[in-house]
Copies of this chain bind each other. A is one copy, B any other.
Amino acid sequence: MSGGHEAPEGNVSTTQPWAAATAGGRPAGPSPHDGDLMYTWATELFPLHRSLTGPGLRATLDYLGERLPAMRRHRVASGTRAFDWIVPDEWQFRRAYVEDEAGERLIDSAWHNLHVVGYAEPIDTWMTIAELDAHLHSIPEQPNWVPYVTSYYQRRWGFCITHAQRERLRRDPQRRVRVVIDATLEAGFLDYADLVVPGESGDEVLFSTYVCHPSMANNELSGPVVQAALARWVHSLANRRLTYRFVFAPETIGSLVYLSEHLVHLKANVRAGFVLTCIGDERAFSVLASRRGNTLADRAARHVLEHRVGQYQAYSFLERGSDERQYCAPGIDLPVCSLMRSKHSVYPEYHTSADDLSLISPASLGGSLDVCRDIVAVLESNVRYRTTTLGEPQLGRRGLYPSVSSGEIDVRTTRYRDILAYADGSLDLIGLAESIDAYALDLVPAIGTLRQQGLLVAEP
């Protein structure tokens, strides 16, 4: 072993716009401010009564739109077809309560948005507690939590309460109560929004989250607030290589509507996509694979989580449950995986009133944003690189290699040599990084130097 050369990496002023924009490849470190801001947004959005349609959904999009001026609002009318589905009537909910003959309120949606079954049909009538009980939902195993229940596509009404309260009501089954759901279910609109941040290339990265869940924090205000903060950050970057698309829509029907309107474009342009959901609690990071399991989205998410976070939970597409169901459906087949902390259906507070603002935190929202920004940074630099010389270049002549052969070769030199040894034009940045056991973002400065030296080029 031998072959001497010369001197270490100097100040790097790379010609790669992205690397310049992000201080040498890696986005700036976690900003406590970002976490606080996202948590504030979540706090302000929490009380709104979101559903698939209706004023709470619109107010949520209004709120986000104020923070994302480039956001575009869209709506489709009830009855619109979206592939196999039909957009339902709009639910305009005002108030729901149960009171007894003495006027005592036994249940009131003013106390918690979850008390009314989502999309409940209107009612105003008297009945016994025994009759009411058939319309109550509770969780015997968690007697102090209110469950989240909806009935979007079949008309029914109902209330959700703690099991403890239900037990109390059941003590007097013949007690008469007035049951009121003040709402309308009539032809209207389904609202959603998107934000497209253009880059040099038409190749797109998709982020998608949903905005239809009322008064739950992890599922689902964490997705909207992280995605909004991410969109603002992406928008602020100079010289983006890629185009970014952020979709905020009601779950299932919203993503189906969006897909039905944009399918040809999305199939032609989306290179990687991520559903952001349940991404605000402080527990594990998780990635749920696309159906194919090894798309660019899967590879980027796993690479960032492995190198930036270390431990994470990898779920198969068999355990899917959010809008990746639509994005990865046969015939749609977009390269989309889901990025989460605790996966939906897995954490105990899921779909209950216990999924409140105490379950998420500024720090965990900030950490999730950091992961998303790293994914963006990796994708920005994720082109195939090829050396320009045959054989190793003489790094010493360029000051990239120690001129004396003794002693240890430092990490930067090893990195230059490893990049040059593997960059045969067949590997993208992630593949190159995994070949040399490194984090992709840690390679970006060295790649910048080597490109500047004319030793490496990006394949078109």
Which residues on A are within 8 Å of B, measured CB to CB? Answer: 1-6, 82-86, 117-118, 137, 147-154, 156, 210, 212-213, 219, 251-253, 255-256, 259-260, 263, 277, 291, 317-318, 320-322, 325-326, 328-333, 344-345, 351, 386-387, 389-394, 396-397, 403-406, 417-418, 420-425, 435-437
Contact = CB atoms under 8 A, between A and B. Distances in A.
A2 B275 CA distance: 14
Nearest to A250: B2
B253 A3 contact: yes
A82 B149 CA distance: 73
Contacts of A403: 151, 153-154, 156
Contacts of A291: 421-422, 424
Given A325-B392, A424-B331, A397 B153 contact: yes
What is the predominant secondary structure among interface residues of chain A facing chain B?
loop
Nearest to A320: B421
Given A153-B403, A154-B6, A421-B320, A84 B393 contact: yes
B252 A2 contact: yes
13 contacts: A1-B322, A2-B252, A4-B153, A84-B389, A86-B394, A118-B405, A137-B406, A154-B403, A156-B403, A256-B391, A326-B391, A331-B390, A332-B391
Given A291-B421, A291-B422, A260 B394 contact: no
Contacts of A330: 386-387, 420-425
A151 B404 contact: yes
A256 B3 CA distance: 11
A153 B396 contact: yes
A88 B3 CA distance: 12
B389 A1 contact: no
Q: Which of A212, A251, A329, A386 has the most CB of B within 10 A?
A: A329
